[in-house]
Amino acid sequence: MNTLLIVALTLGLAWAQAELEEVYGWKQMEFAWPDEKTKQDALQSGAYIPENNLPLGIQKWKNKLFVTVPRWKAGVAASLNVLDTDKPNKTAALVPYPDWTANTLPPAGAEKVPDNTVVSVFRTRVDVCDRLWVMDTGLADILGEPRQITKPALVIFDLNTDKLIRRYEFKATDLKEDSFFANVVVDVTPDRCDKAYAYVPDLGGYGVVVYSLAENDSWRVTHNFFHFDPLKGDLTVGGVNFQWTDGVFGLALSEPKANGQRLMYFHALASTKEFSVPTGVLQNKTLATDPHNYYMFKLEGDRGHNTQATSSAYDERTKILFLTQLNKDGAACWNTQRGLSPSSLGTIAKDPERLIFTNDIMLADDYVYMLSDKMSLFLYKSLQPDEVNYRIMRIKVQDAIRGTPCAGY
């Protein structure tokens, strides 16, 4: 009986992997330069060092696929970019968004930068009101000679016009000495676009910053659950062993409940546990900042050994949470209608070649999209320029969960 079960699970996993489609694959990132001279000048000056450009985050709106390239090192051509999915090309060049000027670093000593400037972005979020929310760290050359060009800021664009809606710089009270903002989720409904809230995890300072679009104000939320697990910071990805202390990182929002609130599912990167909190707690500034709110946050469960995750995405239709799986070269699912445990966590993709460091995951057009970028090799060793290092993969939601504990509940 056990043998039959193992065979069935193996066949189910292999079937799902066979459906995994490689949408894009790059050896190095190329950009859509205005002309060849501009590119050559950038190469000569060091403004563009191809091997230093690593894609990290993805979001999709209609035929636009946004791809972020954080300024880990010097020589990043543009941090916020877009691809036209109506023009299939697996090695398509990135087009800076909203334009080249907004992605060009200002000279040292510049007193004021344009409001639509994008310095260094890890992840973005598209909302139901056709807006792109960009969490700009404002920090360039993170691993070299760090330069804080602007304060950490939310930069919001109208996707129908590609024009800036607002730039909001975080207040001093939002920040801690080790603050680092690498993600954002947006809580809004189509009939109340002006009432949006953004939740921004601080993986280095172990908190969450809440931003109210209507009030144009922000506040910082703290909780023990935002910290990393000291026993789960040891990772091995792509054959590289390293230790991280990253706190709260992955955020995902459920569908609105009967009271209008959602649940925000969250986890630290250096952890295997998943937590949740009603968004009504976060949106109420008095309640969110009250040190006695401890029991309003909930432990959902533990995913099990080696299930550390960066990003997560929630499918409102199936009520399934999808997560990256760093140590396992893949991605997983959890049906939130069941308790979370190792037995209820399903594997939707696993590929030790094409999914090394699955860094981001998102849902669009009934597909699960995943970005893998071999970041452990990029940070601690080196990438091979003759190999495909960066990939964007996808699989249909129903195909992904078929044969896993996430289906048929």
Instruction: Identify whether the C-beta of residue 336 lies closer than 8 Å to the C-beta of residue 322.
Output: no
Q: Is residue 341 part of a domain?
A: yes
**Residue 127 belongs to some domain of the structure:** no
CATH number of 333's domain: 2.120.10.30
Domain count, the chain: 1
Query: Over the chain, what is the mean pLDDT?
Result: 95
Q: How far apart are CA 179 and CA 266, in angstroms?
A: 18
* pLDDT bucket at 199, cuts 50 / 70 / 90: very high
Task: Supply the pLDDT for residue 333.
Answer: 98
| Residue-range definition of the domain harbouring residue 331 | 1-30+224-409
- Assess if residue 168 is contained within a domain: no
> Which of the two residues, 1 and 155, has the higher pLDDT score?
155
Distance from C-alpha of 333 to C-alpha of 394, rounded to nearest angstrom:
14
The pLDDT value recorded for residue 6 is 47
Contact 373, 357 (CB under 8 A): yes
Beta strands (DSSP E) in 244-304 are 248-253, 263-268, 273-278, 298-302
Closest by alpha carbon to 179, among 153, 154, 206? 206
d(CA 62, CA 365): 9
Say what the pLDDT of residue 409 is.
59
Is 163 a domain residue? Answer: no
Span 262-288, mean pLDDT? 98
Q: Give 330-374 pLDDT, tens digit per residue.
A: 999 999 999 999 999 999 999 999 999 999 999 999 999 999 999
Q: What pLDDT score does 8 carry?
A: 45
Q: What is the pTM of this model?
A: 0.94
Residue 139 domain-assigned (yes or no):
no
Whether the ω angle into residue 107 lies within 30 degrees of 0, i.e. cis, is no
Structural domain includes residue 366: yes
Specify the pLDDT at position 203: 98
Give Cβ neighbours of residue 344 (< 8 Å, ≥ 6 apart).
Answer: 301, 334, 335, 338, 405, 406
Looking at the domain assignment, is residue 178 inside a domain? no
| Cα–Cα distance, 363 to 96 (Å, whole number) | 23
104 assigned to some structural domain: no
Helix (H) or strand (E) holding 286, with range, is helix 285-288
List, for residues 54-79, the tens digit of each pLDDT value.
999 999 999 999 999 999 999 999 99
